[in-house]
Amino acid sequence: MRLYSTNGKSPEVSFEEAVFKGLPSDNGLFMPKEIKPLPNHFFEHIEELSFQEIAFEVTQSIIGDDIPSDDLQKIINEVLSFDAPVVNVHDNIHTLELFHGPTLAFKDFGARFMSRIMGYFLQEKAQKINILVATSGDTGSAVAQGFLGVPNINVTILYPKGKVSEIQEMQLTTNGQNIKALEIEGTFDDCQRMVKSAFLDEELSKKLGLSSANSINISRLIPQSFYYFYAYAQLKKQGKPVVFCVPSGNFGNLCGGLIAQKMGLPVHKFIAATNANDIVPTYLKEGKYEPKPSVQTISNAMDVGAPSNFARMQNLYEESLEAIREDIIGKSFTDEQTKEAIKRVFNQYGYILDPHGAVGYLAVEEYLKENPSEDVNTVFLETAHPCKFGDVVEPIIGQKIDIPQRLQEIVDREKQSTLMDANFESLKSYLLNENAEATDA
Ligand SMILES: *Cc1c(COP(=O)(O)O)cnc(C)c1O
């Protein structure tokens, strides 16, 4: 597999290089040079394949022979150790539940795949790396879980003290093994600044082999295409065209869908659903792309004012606004509408939406009103389990949400973290010290 930069000013790289570099040097984003359609017989029999079998075919088609079949099969089986069921909410509105992984959000797919891919390449070279991540909550926990126990990789997570939820803090600090948590006496921005300084520090890069687990890494994007195929497979026998609706922030999840479509998946339309951070819906409507500072909403994982995957979306459509508009419809909703949808869907249909999924539900509902003559199946992606947003959802539905067993277990574990002031020198001496111990042992 070869990858190019969307900015076109940095040389092509291999899959392995793209995974460890994260970003091309010209500040663009890596894209696969070739995305081939899968053969007809794959789609003719897709409903007979397991989730793992589908993902294996998709990955092999994208990455070619960069990873031998047996190893790739093992990676896929480890990554997809949980299901992604399509659940009917009512009538022709379905949801694709992407929260059955260890941290109860769809970012588990990307984080688990990236960790295994990195682990595979490092094992080939008998090399070790250190991953540094700053988190405001969810990305850090998915990364921690994804990399837990993966050989040759140590992960250090920086989170702002007192600024993540209790469950999130548990998810960050109770892992043990190769995952270390630093509780920073500062804000998320301080954490991010410290991580950035570390990447720029020559001594650290030389001694530690630092790498990021950035959300725009190509190895996080690829697995986000798997479940579109799998959802299609689950609905195929009904024989209706499928509309996918993706609650979006950085638009990585939607890009996974666009790649699936490029590989031949029959998709009638995509709906890009956002909260008040409506940069992409506005672009689709008015043709003007104007990033702005994000505003805070109750679907906070989508509070993004400059979507990092926008360049990939444009690139997939060769910068043609008309072509993008053919496939993607943009819609945005307020917090008030989101809360109303959570309440109504629970009261009428007994399904508990999380605030992100609720935005997706609203967009589907509006789409169906605007297109009454279409006989389609709609699928909105449920990107997180509602219990992760219990403080918002529970008062609206007037009852407690059960916490799944796999999350309940960590609540009983002991918190392990190192308190640190928001100072790069503290981080540097900590990292050098930790690493010295690791090599002496
Ligand atoms: C990250 C996230 C999103 C947004 O996904 P993008 O790929 O950034 O568009 C939506 N919902 C939840 C729960 C998330 O964690």
Distance from the first to the final alpha carbon of the chain: 38
Q: How many whole angstroms from 249 Cα to the centroid of ligand 1?
A: 6
- Which 3 state secondary structure label does DSSP give 323? helix
Question: 439 pLDDT exceeds 60?
Answer: no
The proportion of the chain whose per-residue pLDDT surpasses 70, expressed as a percent, equals: 99
For residue 96, how far is its CA from the centre of ligand 1 (angstroms)? Answer: 14
- What pLDDT is attached to residue 437? 61
Which DSSP category does 46 fall into? G
Q: Can you spell out the DSSP letters for 70-85?
A: HHHHHHHHHHT-S---
* pLDDT at residue 427 is higher than 80: yes
Mean pLDDT of 151-167: 91
- Count each helix (H run) and each strand (E run) in the chain, helices first: 20, 14
Q: What is the pLDDT of residue 44?
A: 97
Is residue 110 very low, low, confident or very high in pLDDT (cuts 50, 70, 90)? very high
The three-class DSSP label of residue 68 is coil
- For the stretch 5-44, pLDDT in tens is 999 999 999 999 999 988 898 989 999 999 999 999 999 9
Cα radius of gyration rounded to whole Å, the chain: 21
Question: 51-65, 125-139, 253-267, 331-345 — which is least confidently predicted?
Answer: 125-139
Phi, psi (deg, nearest 5) at residue 6: -60, -20
Q: What count of other Cβ atoms lies within 10 Å of the Cβ of residue 103?
A: 28
Alpha helices in 48-180 (DSSP H): 51-63, 69-79, 107-125, 138-147, 166-173
Res 215: pLDDT:
80
Who lines ligand 1 at CB under 6 A?
A: 105, 107, 138, 247-253, 301-302, 356, 383-384
Q: How far, in Å, are 53, 159, 162, 205, 293 from residue 140 at the CA level?
A: 29, 8, 15, 21, 22
> Rounded to an integer, what distance in angstroms lies between the CA atom of residue 210 and that of residue 131?
6
Residue nearest to atom 11 of ligand 1 (CA): 383
Q: Is the pLDDT of residue 396 over 80?
A: yes
Report DSSP letters for 387-402, one per residue.
Answer: GGGHHHHHHHHTSPPP
What pLDDT, on a 0 to 100 scale, did the predictor assign at position 91?
97
Which atom, in ligand 1's list, is nearest to the CA of 253? 7
Neighbours of 349 (CB within 10 A): 14
Atom of ligand 1 nearest to the CA of 256: 7
**CA distance to 41, 117, 224, 437, per residue, from 229 (Å):** 14, 21, 10, 46
**Residues 180-209: what's their mean pLDDT?**
91
What is the b/e burial string over 420-437, where b = at least 16 CB atoms within 10 angstroms of the residue's CB?
Answer: bebebebbbeebeeebee
- Residues 204-227: pLDDT tens digits? 988 998 888 888 899 999 999 999
Pocket test for ligand 1, best of 97, 222, 383, 388 (most atoms within 8 A of CB): 383
Query: Is the pLDDT confidence value at 104 over 60?
Result: yes
CA separation, residue 180 to residues 183, 415, 429 (Å): 10, 11, 15
Greatest mean pLDDT among 24-28, 56-60, 127-131, 436-440: 56-60
38: CB partners within 8 A, 6+ apart: 57, 58, 61, 263, 264
With the most atoms of ligand 1 within 8 angstroms of its CB, the residue from 220, 248, 251 to mutate is 248
Q: pLDDT: is 199 or 71 the higher one?
A: 71
The Å distance, Cα 271 to ligand 1 centre, comes to: 14
What domains does the chain contain, in order, with CATH numbers? 83-104+221-397 (3.40.50.1100)
Atom number of ligand 1 nearest to Cα 107? 15
From the CA of 247, how far away is ligand 1's center (Å)?
7
CA 319 to chain centre: 24
| pLDDT given for residue 441 in this prediction | 43
Q: What is the average pLDDT value for the chain, to the nearest integer? A: 94
Ligand 1 centroid, distance to 301 Cα (angstroms): 5
Ligand 1: distance of its center to the CA of 356 in Å?
8
* pLDDT tens digit sequence for 268-288: 999 999 999 999 999 999 999
> Of 9, 21, 33, 107, which residue is the catalytic one?
107
Closest atom of ligand 1 to 308 CA is 8
| Among the ranges given (25-34, 126-135, 254-263), the one the predictor scored with the smallest mean pLDDT | 126-135
> Is residue 440 pLDDT above 60, yes or no?
no
The question of whether 107 is a catalytic residue gets the answer yes
Q: For ligand 1, pick from 356, 359, 392 the residue to mutate: most ligand atoms within 8 Å of CB.
A: 356
Q: What is the mean pLDDT of residues 158-178?
A: 90
